[in-house]
Structure 1
Amino acid sequence: MEARDVSSLHDSMRRHGIPGVLTPEDPKNPAGPWRVFDHDGPGRRDITDATLAAAEAAAGRRPARGFVIAG
């Protein structure tokens, strides 16, 4: 994920309650690639792929209205 994608993903994560911490791969190069981690600190896990999939799935959900008719 590139730096230009971070703002959009962050907004989607917050809107849909998807947890994660967005961090540049190289802290000295914030314009380069970014990753998503489960938390900030030692022992953190890279969850970029799962987060991107969750954000994509959440964005594709549409509110549905309908009726249930008992048989």
Structure 2
Amino acid sequence: IYSDFILLWNNISTMGSLTTIMFIFMFIYTIIETLNSKRKNIFMIKSNNNEWKNNTPLLSHTNKEMTFMFKK
């Protein structure tokens, strides 16, 4: 069906498609394995920002407000 010149490029593109599919499966496996593993974190983020001290987002979604509480 193909001439010799077109057959070469067809085989090259087929190999490229197969390697792309293989790396997509490897990437999906890596993501699933990362989510399922119970390993310790190697890097710990230590920051003085208020964003990292709270486990949830601030209600106002901004850090421009002061976070002091006053007693009357």
**Superposition TM-score, scaled by structure 1 size:** 0.27
Q: Which is higher, the Rg of structure 1 or of structure 2?
A: 2
Q: Which has a greater percent of helix?
A: 2
Structure number with the bigger relative contact order (C-alpha 8 A, sep ≥ 6) is: 1
Give the TM-score of the pair, scaled to structure 2. 0.26
Higher strand share: 1
